[in-house]
């Protein structure tokens, strides 16, 4: 840890559109995409909770960016872990502008664009998830079968 500070972001959301993949002058892949997360506003006087959508700008580099180009698409459910970065620039009128983005270092595919878990291969159709870490390694992990009680049976 650097001098007692932490800059860490963890999000689970859906892609708003397919990633934009470009390459820098020295050949490093750069992927940019938007990620939507949902939250519920507190209940008002009428007791209705309102769902809110928050949009996040995500950028990633190297092998992880190439992974995004190969496996991510609009609507895909994704786990993203990274850090916040704010960029500053001046527009044509001389106004200072800022944008905040998440520099993703770890991505995991959590499901398909239609909301169903991804199934694959020789494991007999069990749920699986692909991930790409900061070093760009791809791995496949088996997810445990859902054996818990339905959500509406939880007493809290």
Q: Has residue 42 been placed in a domain?
A: no
Question: What six digits make up the tokens of 85?
Answer: 């970065």
Which band of pLDDT confidence, cut at 50, 70 and 90, is reported for residue 153?
low
Q: Provide Rg for the chain, Cα atoms.
A: 19
Q: Has residue 25 been placed in a domain?
A: yes
What's the mean pLDDT when you consider all of the chain?
77
Q: Has residue 148 been placed in a domain?
A: no
Check pLDDT > 60 for residue 84: yes
- Provide the Cα torsion 115, 130, 127, 73; round to 10°: 20
Look up the CATH number of the domain holding residue 79.
Answer: 2.40.50.140
Number of domain units in the chain: 1
Which band of pLDDT confidence, cut at 50, 70 and 90, is reported for residue 49?
confident
pTM exceeds 0.85, yes or no? no
What range does the domain containing 79 cover? 9-37+51-142
Which band of pLDDT confidence, cut at 50, 70 and 90, is reported for residue 147?
very low
Q: Has residue 31 been placed in a domain?
A: yes
> In 3D, which of 127, 130, 114, 32 has the Cα closest to residue 75?
114
Q: Has residue 65 been placed in a domain?
A: yes
Q: Has residue 151 been placed in a domain?
A: no
Q: Has residue 44 been placed in a domain?
A: no
DSSP 41-107: PPP-TT----EEEEEEEEEEEHHHHHHHHHH--TT-EEEEEEEEEEEEEE-TTS-EEEEEEEEEEEE
Q: 85-132: per-residue pLDDT in tens?
A: 999 989 999 999 999 999 999 999 997 555 444 322 222 333 333 444
70-99: average pLDDT: 93
Q: Has residue 154 been placed in a domain?
A: no
């Amino acid at each position: 840890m650097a001098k007692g500070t932490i800059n860490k972001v963890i999000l689970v959301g859906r892609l708003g559109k397919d990633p934009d993949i470009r390459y820098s002058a020295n050949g490093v892949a750069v992927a940019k995409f938007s990620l939507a997360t949902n939250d519920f506003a507190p209940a008002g006087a009428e007791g209705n909770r309102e769902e809110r959508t928050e949009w996040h700008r995500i950028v990633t580099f190297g092998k992880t960016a190439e992974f995004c180009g190969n496996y991510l698409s609009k609507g895909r459910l994704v786990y993203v872990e990274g850090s916040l970065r704010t960029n500053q620039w001046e527009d044509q009128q001389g106004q200072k502008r800022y944008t905040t983005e998440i520099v993703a270092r770890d991505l995991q595919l959590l499901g398909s664009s239609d909301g169903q878990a991804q199934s694959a291969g020789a494991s007999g159709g069990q749920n699986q998830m692909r991930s790409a870490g900061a070093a760009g390694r791809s791995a496949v992990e088996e997810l445990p079968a859902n054996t818990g009680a339905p959500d509406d049976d939880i007493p809290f």
